[in-house]
């Protein structure tokens, strides 16, 4: 990580903290997170696979995230019930279930990318002003 020398730390930290708080407020209002790291990590994992057209199974979720299988399963079911994802049985192997993003998730993640991009722009401006 690049160490940044800051000539006006109070202004710098105020700008950065404001950008972070803006992102957090957007997350709370628009994503199904319930203040959970697991919920955000799972949404990002599903969105990543969806945007890159990569298949993602339930087992892939369990092995990709450092959370218990029970907690991940509970969050997957919550996302199904709230219309964020669909879990589809594999036609060739009944043991495999595919996790698919629904339009609600892809739209939210597109908006999230814009919010993050804006926040990163603020942070880059702060480090470049130095």
Does residue 70 register a pLDDT over 90? yes
Does residue 2 register a pLDDT over 60? no
pLDDT (mean) for 96-108: 96
Question: Which phi and psi (to 5°) does residue 57 adopt?
Answer: -95, 165
Question: For 9-128, CATH number?
Answer: 1.10.10.10
Identify the burial level of 43 via C-beta atoms within 10 angstroms of its C-beta, where 0-12 means exposed, 13-18 middle and 19 or more buried. Answer: buried
pLDDT in tens, 7-21: 555 667 777 888 889
Sequence length of the chain is 130
């Amino acid at each position: 990580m690049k160490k940044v020398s800051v000539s006006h730390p109070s202004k710098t930290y105020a700008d950065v903290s404001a950008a972070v708080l803006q992102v957090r407020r957007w997350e709370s209002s628009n994503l199904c997170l319930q203040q959970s790291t697991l919920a955000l990590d799972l949404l990002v994992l599903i969105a990543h696979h969806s945007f890159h057209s990569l298949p993602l199974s339930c087992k892939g979720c369990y092995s990709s995230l450092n959370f218990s299988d029970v907690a991940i399963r509970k969050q997957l079911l919550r996302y199904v019930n709230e219309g964020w994802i669909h879990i589809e049985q594999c036609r060739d192997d009944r043991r495999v279930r595919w996790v698919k993003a629904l339009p609600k998730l892809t739209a939210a993640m597109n908006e999230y990318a814009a919010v993050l991009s804006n926040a990163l722009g603020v942070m880059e401006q702060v480090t470049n002003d130095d």
